[in-house]
Chains A and B, each alone.
Chain A
Amino acid sequence: MGTHENLESEDLKPLPLEDLHKAANARFGGFAGWSMPITYPLGVMKEHLHTRENAGLFDISHMQLFDVAGAEAAALLSRACPLDAELLSAGQSKYTFFLNEQAGILDDLIITRLGPDRFMVVANAGNAAADEAHLRDVAKAFDCKVDALDRVFLAIQGPQAADVLRKAGIAGTELAFMHGFEPKPGWFMSRSGYTGEDGFEIGLPEADARALAEKLLSDARVAWIGLAARDSLRLEAGLCLHGHDITPETDPVDAGLTWAITKPVREKAGFIGAKALAEKIATGPKRKRVGLKPDGRQPVRSDSVLLDINGNTIGIVTSGGFGPSVGYPVAMGYVGKDFAPVGSQVFTEVRGNRIALHVHQLPFTPHGYHKG
């Protein structure tokens, strides 16, 4: 038996709470340079379903928090991101990007305004070092400082997440979706996540994180959830994984993410990549990011080439697997715009067999966000 999967294994960094994951009998694997819990004994299928029905606890300490502070912190972020940071109210979070001059997506981020001169930036693990260098480079022209924080970062996700936190006496359950604050020194908490469910992400010092994890896990509704289920949850929810669904070679227009960039921000054009983005918006997308549902039971994986009925290449799969909640294979990818309407039929070949797929609306499972 041989597995077609590239697992990283060299020089992986351990998570600060690795001992807790080992005690929970997690199976580890490499991701973005970190040794991450991939699954727990519950298994990916049940972990996924548990999160959709109860509350899943995720250790996402591989992600990077940046504290951006100073008189020109808002101006810096409005330059580095297609965002008007001045217009964010205190406590408001916004999904945004670092773009390059070609409007390619260097990373996707969530930025929360903490106060008049302070913001929290949450970045992806795989891009943390590049993001930090980029942000510091752009920051040279502004009166502000950038701190890469050393925190444990936990996510609790699922319809029971808010009630679990409330019962545990954790402040912040009154937050609406995409809002955040600092409940106590060294803590950052937002109502957000990467599963499509209601939930919270909490950055905090290691000692506090140990106590919090223990307290949350004492609630029968809470279970540790690994990276494998995190991936199937976000794929069903139609959320992009940077490095796969969005990359420096894709832009927000093709990715269908221009909703994250308001019209006044586009018109003001003060951000890196503004000129290229305006041109792309004017010409329209050449290809579009879509959901894909393989017709049968066989999963179609990332990098599978998409074909039209005559065998011409018309796109590529960027994420693919199985959706435990929907009970069928799910995928995401890019297709030429003629194939973008929901219901369009496309094909791929897996091990010499032709498989039909249909363009499916995203998300595959409805979002359960708490809009407040």
Chain B
Amino acid sequence: MTATYFTEDHEWVRVENGIATVGITDHAQDQLGDLVFVQLPDVGQSLSKGDPAVVVESVKAASDVYAPVDGEVTEVNAAAASDPALVNSSATGDGWLWKMKLSDTDQLTGLLDEAGYKAIIG
């Protein structure tokens, strides 16, 4: 079963079989503008909710992408690092950033659903 969650910090989290795939929302990529650099975490790295996990850099500025929940990084999207424009063109698809094994699925209840996220971005 797949469920998609969102954070107030403009990340999306797609959960399938205890593995969360994380990326930034289309709204976020639009706000950032053209991305030129993506720094991914290491596979095996343990992340706590709120830790800076990824840095995305636009022509003008660098932004942190935070871990939405606790867990261990299981996979990173090398395609996004080699072609950061992929995050602009497909933020919620091929431009995903990393996958993590959830430590505590209860943390998901603290995240937003799509309607809740849309209400935030207006």
Chain A interface residues (CB < 8 Å from chain B):
1-5, 39, 43-46, 48, 228, 231-232, 297-299, 301, 321-322, 324, 329, 351
Which of A3, A39, A48, A329 counts the most chain B CB atoms within 10 A?
A3
B61 in contact (CB, < 8 A): yes
One of B11, B33, B56 near A44 (C-beta < 8 A)? B33
One of B36, B57, B66 near A1 (C-beta < 8 A)? B66
Residues of B close to A322: CB separation below 8 A? 36-37, 57, 59
Are A44's CB and B59's CB within 8 A? yes
B28 in contact (CB, < 8 A): yes
Residues of A close to B37: CB separation below 8 A? 297-299, 322, 329
Number of A-B contacts (CB under 8 A): 64
Residues of A close to B39: CB separation below 8 A? 298, 351
Main secondary structure of the interface of B (DSSP, over half): strand
Residues of B close to A5: CB separation below 8 A? 60-61
B120 in contact (CB, < 8 A): no
Main secondary structure of the interface of A (DSSP, over half): mixed
Nearest CB to that of B54 among chain A residues? A1
B63 in contact (CB, < 8 A): yes
B51 in contact (CB, < 8 A): no
A1-B34 in contact given A298-B57, A299-B57 (Cβ < 8 Å): no
Report Cα–Cα, A351/B37, bound state, in Å.
14
Q: Name 24 A/B residue pairs within 8 A (Cβ), A-sorted.
A: A1-B24, A1-B56, A1-B64, A2-B63, A2-B66, A4-B63, A44-B58, A45-B34, A48-B59, A228-B59, A228-B60, A231-B60, A232-B59, A297-B36, A298-B37, A298-B39, A299-B62, A301-B62, A322-B36, A322-B59, A324-B34, A324-B59, A351-B39, A351-B55
- What 11 additional pairs, Cβ within 8 angstroms, besides A1-B9, A1-B28, A46-B34? A1-B66, A3-B32, A3-B61, A4-B61, A43-B34, A45-B34, A298-B37, A298-B57, A299-B36, A299-B37, A301-B62
Report Cα–Cα, A1/B39, bound state, in Å.
14
- Please report the total number of B residues contacting A with Cβ < 8 Å: 23
Report Cα–Cα, A231/B58, bound state, in Å.
13
* 0 or 1 for each of B37-69: is its CB under 8 Å from A? (1 = yes): 101000000000000000111111111111000
Report Cα–Cα, A322/B58, bound state, in Å.
8
Chain B interface residues (CB < 8 Å from chain A):
9-11, 24, 28, 32-34, 36-37, 39, 55-66
Are A44's CB and B34's CB within 8 A? yes
Nearest CB to that of A299 among chain B residues? B57
A1-B33 in contact given A228-B60, A324-B59 (Cβ < 8 Å): no
Are A45's CB and B10's CB within 8 A? no
A321-B59 in contact given A1-B9, A2-B9, A298-B37 (Cβ < 8 Å): yes
Nearest CB to that of A46 among chain B residues? B34
Residues of B close to A228: CB separation below 8 A? 33, 59-60
Report Cα–Cα, A329/B84, bound state, in Å.
13
